[in-house]
Amino acid sequence: MQFSAKVSDISKQRAACSIISVDAKNGLSPSGKNLDQLAGGVIGKILKRGDLGAKPGSTQLIDLLDGPSERVLVVRTGKGDISQAEFRKLASASAAVAKKFKEATSYLCELEVKGADKTWQAQQIALATGLACYRFTQFLTDAKPYPLAKFTLHATDRKQLKAIQKGMDIGAGQALGSNVARELGDLPSNVCTPSYLAAEARALAKKHAKLTTTVLDEKKMQALGMGALLSVAKGSDQPPALIAMNYKGGKTSEKPIVLVGKGITFDSGGISIKPGQAMDEMKYDMGGAASVFGVMNALLELQPSINVVGLVAAAENMPSGRASKPGDIVKSMSGKTIEILNTDAEGRLVLCDALTYAGKYKPRAVIDIATLTGACVIALGHHASGLYANNEELAQDLLKAGEKSGDRAWQMPLWDEYQPALDSNFADMQNIGGRDAGSVTAACFLSRFTEEYTWAHMDIAGSAWKSGACKGATGRPVPLLVEYLLGK
């Protein structure tokens, strides 16, 4: 999709669809009034009939047939000040309609939003529009992608144009990155294997000078002593891969921020096999890895002057005669030994070795992203990602990035009191705590491998995909991560 911003006049701007707003107190937005006048008051007359819903975010499409705008899409706003949450609603509600046309122009930046500037508004519109146009069509015989190919944001003057352009670029980058993550997530596990992810990473490096990719195979992982990661992979016929994508936008001397993604391309549970109900959704157990790919793609688009390494710990968790069994003990790259009491707690096993490996980059900060625990879904549901950190400044930065982008996280405790749940009689630790605080004890497990650097962990088990009729990857937390990185 082509996004652009323009100082334009609605009475002269040709458009297949113009997006304007109306509120109960002031009526149509300035450009809306303008267009209405040009159309002989027909918009006002049609709205008077009362078909437009009363709730903010309700939309009505009005055909104008001829005139500069073929159609006008009217979005209802609330009566008082417009909050950021409400503006997001308007942006996605209008995108859901506009995506059906080849081309659209939005005048929603004319609205004033509480505590937000034009850059933020443009960012939210571009993000919502980019996300709305995603459709997973690879395996559908008849489905076509949405036609929207050109989306224009209206600015009232040159100064506003600059601000809008800036926000639009960021939002478009966030949407692009999110949609890359969604595409990888929605792919079935018979296509999206660890080797597939490795090939994707190599292809990305081939296309972009600022990115290099290296892939550690089983043999190299063995040489490094990654017994935890390898123990997960060994039950599967698919070989694992530890993928490193190195984005160099900053000075060579500048320490990188390292992202680490859980890339279990299918989580059957292994010998501690999962029940059949919704097991297909465990193709999404590489959502953390997908978000790392999404962020790398967004960085390549936006080209910020920073260094970022994206690590992906990719493996498939399967039961077989070669699989780990409950009670098995493995040695991690850190030297610490782990008693595997449940083979379904495999994410932390692949992550702990990847996190130890991350130390070799002398990172400024490390953020891991993982669909780690069902317990996190019980705690937070699907609206917030769970956030843990051993550094309060990093935690606050990530929380703020979530608020700003609308891709929110909620901080959870990483208190020492939770650590003894991981005590084992036979090894340095066991890979599960008890029934209580499952998301916290999983984070505690990871914290034992990240003591040497500034670290945060995001449990995205509830936010990475949707179940039910709208089943599909969300691309989260790519907007949050991109927001955070652009602020560095």
Active-site annotation, residues = 274, 348
Cβ within 8 Å of residue 477, ≥6 positions away:
291, 369, 385, 402, 407, 409, 458, 460, 463
Of ligand BES, Zn ion, Mn ion, none, which one sits near residue 374, judging by CB under 5 to 8 A according to partner kind? ligand BES
Stretch that binds Mn ion, among 133-141, 259-267, 369-377, 428-436 (CB under 5 A): 259-267
- Consecutive H or E run containing 263: strand 257-267
Binding region for ligand BES (CB under 6 A): 267, 285, 342, 344-347, 371-375, 377, 432, 438, 461
* 39: nearest Cα among 18, 57, 54: 18
Angle at 74 between CA 1 and CA 51, to 5 degrees: 135
> With binding defined as CB under 5 A, does residue 407 bind Mn ion?
no
Which lies closer to ligand BES via its Cβ, residue 30 or residue 374?
374
In the complex, minimum distance from the CB of residue 342 to Mn ion, in angstroms, rounded to a whole number: 8
C-alpha 156/C-alpha 6 separation (Å) is: 8
In three-state secondary structure terms, 469 is helix
Which lies closer to ligand BES via its Cβ, residue 433 or residue 479?
433
Q: How deeply is 190 buried, as exposed, middle or buried, from its count of CB atoms within 10 A (0-12, 13-18, 19+)?
A: exposed
Which lies closer to Zn ion via its Cβ, residue 173 or residue 347?
347
Among 344, 397, 407, 483, binds Mn ion (CB under 5 A): 344
In the complex, minimum distance from the CB of residue 469 to ligand BES, in angstroms, rounded to a whole number: 18
- Consecutive H or E run containing 86: helix 84-98
Stretch that binds Zn ion, among 27-35, 126-134, 264-272, 382-390 (CB under 5 A): 264-272
**Contacts (CB under 5 A) with Zn ion, residues 274-293:** 285
Stretch that binds Zn ion, among 124-132, 147-155, 259-267, 379-387 (CB under 5 A): 259-267
Which lies closer to ligand BES via its Cβ, residue 346 or residue 368?
346
Which lies closer to Zn ion via its Cβ, residue 93 or residue 313?
313
In three-state secondary structure terms, 430 is strand
Q: Is 241 within 8 Å of 197 (Cβ atoms)?
A: yes
Among 186, 267, 407, 483, binds Mn ion (CB under 5 A): 267
C-alpha 314/C-alpha 198 separation (Å) is: 9
